């Protein structure tokens, strides 16, 4: 997108919004640049150029003059041309399509429009008042003390088919209520939220709420939005606990266990879920996954005594660097646990699944040739149920293997970048070659 002449200066989109970015570091020196559904973080010098561009100068010379007038500093036309061509995202210019927010999903689909959610999120935003939050937190801890052991024993009872259907639909309802919590936290801090949608994250289904605009908020308020879903689940947990105390309903006890599991899963900081964004906002470490990769590259290059290289994200320092190394260690331990679990589970499947599948196939064949339609369907359903876990395990193992191999390949390539492998021939080979040539000459 290099301008061919001074008259080719591109214009910023009209909806570009620039405001101070609150990340807890160098206040007032970093700025949030919004356009459509996308946000960028810029330094002060880049922000000054964008502000000058907002005046719609016609040429690079006019842009340099506007920049000098606004900042009191001079800047060359060559520097401005380089910034526009290489540093400023093309999505900010009006000749490009409206940018879309890049989501960490394999597939996503917006289900409930923001206009439908907004009346509910406006009403529920009062639940984030400080006295209410304190009351909910205390009540939730008491309910956990009362229900944890009971829910743990309840989940071990076998499910009937009708119970299983109700359980899954109830879990979906809990998840949607979780997403309403994120939207309500946005409204509490008077920032807009987007739609609630359905997605495929990694290999499992999930719901999401578009809360991109919370980057306008200070870090602690962003953290409240990150926790908004779990907080709403805690409110629902309290209500269901009171219901169980009066009814002793087994299915609700199982649902309480599932809610605990969902809260634990969503607070996992390794994958890009609520826990990841919570750690990002509290620590001020943006692009945690990229920072983790860069940290591994720096360590590897030090071990192999290679010179440091410039990384994609500025290096963390002080306490943030310690948090980053702790996070990296946690991620490695977590993936090691996952790999060990998948290895054990795969071994169990290899040992037992062929016999179970063979049994069901045999029973299906017997029932089919005997004309027993009901039994045929029964055993077919049994085969499908027995095959679900091996299928999930195969997909999960393939995905984890792909991610681990890709990560190791990137680490090795980056760690040894700039290395030239030179293989020297031993002297004794030259000696043998010389002897052969002499024999051939005098032979």
Q: For 125-129, 229-233, 256-260, 394-398, which range has the lowest pLDDT when averaged over its residues? A: 394-398
Reported as a pLDDT band with limits 50, 70 and 90, residue 145 is very high
Percent of the chain with pLDDT over 70: 88
* Weakest mean pLDDT among 17-21, 23-27, 188-192: 23-27
**Per-chain mean pLDDT for the chain:** 83
- In the three-class reduction of DSSP (H, G, I as helix; E, B as strand; rest coil), residue 196 is classed as strand
In which band, very low, low, confident or very high, does the pLDDT at 320 lie, cut at 50, 70 and 90? Answer: confident
**Six-digit token string for 181:** 């919590």
Looking at residues 175-199, what average pLDDT do you find? 94
pLDDT at site 1: 44
- The predicted pLDDT at position 27 comes to 47
Provide the 10 A C-beta neighbour count for residue 363.
17
Question: What is the C-alpha separation between 400 and 411, in angstroms, rounded?
Answer: 16
On the question of pLDDT at 42 being above 50, the answer is: yes
425 conformational bin, left if phi > 0, alpha if psi -120 to 50, beta if neither: beta
Judge whether residue 236 has pLDDT over 90. Answer: yes
**Is pLDDT above 60 for 159?**
yes
Q: How many angstroms from the chain centroid is the CA of residue 173? A: 23
Please tell me the distance from the alpha carbon of residue 293 to that of residue 315, in angstroms, as a whole number: 11
Predicted model pTM? 0.77
Say which range, 14-18, 136-140, 171-175, 428-432, has the weakest mean pLDDT.
Answer: 428-432
Q: What is the structure's pLDDT at 126?
A: 95
Structure tokens at 333: 């331990």
Say how far apart CA 340 and CA 335 lie, in whole Å: 8
Q: Is the per-residue pLDDT at 25 higher than 60?
A: no
**Does 233 score more than 80 pLDDT?**
yes
Q: Which residues contact 52 (CB under 8 A, 6 or more apart)?
A: 63, 66, 67, 70
Q: Residue 432 pLDDT more than 80?
A: no
- Helical (H) or strand (E) element with 42: strand 38-43
Q: What number is the average pLDDT over the span 8-29?
A: 75
Residue 436 has pLDDT above 80, yes or no: no
**Cβ pair 213, 186 in contact under 8 A:** yes
Rounded to whole angstroms, how far apart are CA atoms 160 and 151? 17
Q: Residue 427 — very low, low, confident or very high, per pLDDT cuts 50/70/90?
A: low
Is the Cβ–Cβ distance between 227 and 240 less than 8 Å? no
């Amino acid at each position: 997108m290099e301008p061919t002449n001074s008259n080719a200066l591109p214009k910023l989109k009209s909806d570009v919004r620039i405001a101070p970015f609150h990340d807890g570091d160098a206040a007032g020196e970093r700025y949030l640049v919004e356009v459509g559904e996308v946000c960028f973080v810029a330094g002060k010098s880049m922000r000054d150029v964008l502000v000058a561009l907002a005046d719609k100068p016609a040429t690079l010379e006019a842009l340099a003059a506007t920049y000098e007038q606004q900042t009191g500093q001079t800047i060359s036309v060559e520097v401005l041309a380089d910034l526009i061509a290489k540093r400023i995202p093309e999505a900010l210019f009006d000749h490009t399509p409206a940018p879309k927010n890049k989501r960490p999903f394999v597939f996503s689909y917006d289900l409930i429009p923001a206009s439908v959610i907004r009346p509910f999120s406006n009403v529920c935003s009062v639940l984030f008042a400080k006295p209410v939050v304190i009351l909910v937190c205390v009540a939730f801890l008491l309910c956990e003390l009362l229900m944890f052991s009971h829910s743990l024993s309840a989940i071990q009872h076998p499910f009937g088919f009708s119970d299983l259907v109700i359980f899954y639909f109830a879990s979906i309802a809990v998840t949607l209520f979780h997403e309403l919590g994120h939207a309500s936290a946005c409204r509490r801090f008077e920032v807009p939220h987007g739609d609630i949608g359905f997605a495929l994250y990694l290999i499992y289904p999930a719901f999401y709420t578009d809360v991109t605009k919370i980057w306008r908020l200070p870090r602690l308020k962003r953290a409240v939005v990150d926790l908004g879903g779990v907080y709403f689940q805690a409110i629902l947990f309290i209500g269901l606990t009171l219901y169980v105390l009066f009814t002793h309903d087994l299915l609700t006890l199982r649902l309480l266990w599932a809610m605990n599991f969902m809260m634990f899963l969503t607070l996992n900081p390794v994958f890009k879920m609520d826990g990841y964004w919570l750690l990002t906002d509290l620590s001020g470490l943006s692009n945690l996954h990229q920072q983790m990769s860069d940290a591994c590259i720096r360590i590897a290059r030090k071990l192999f005594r290679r010179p440091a290289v410039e990384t994609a994200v500025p290096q963390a320092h002080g306490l943030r660097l310690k948090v980053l190394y702790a996070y990296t260690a946690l991620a490695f331990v977590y993936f090691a646990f996952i790999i060990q679990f998948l290895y054990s589970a795969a071994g169990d499947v290899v040992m037992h699944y062929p016999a179970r599948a063979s049994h069901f196939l045999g029973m299906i064949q017997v029932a089919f040739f005997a004309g027993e339609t009901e039994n045929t369907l029964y055993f077919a359903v049994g085969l499908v149920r027995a095959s679900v876990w091996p299928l999930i395990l195969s997909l999960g193992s393939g995905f984890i293997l792909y991610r681990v191999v890709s990560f190791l390949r990137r680490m090795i390539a980056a760690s040894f970048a700039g290395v030239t492998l030179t293989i020297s021939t031993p002297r004794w080979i030259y000696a043998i070659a010389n002897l052969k040539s002499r024999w051939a000459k005098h032979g």
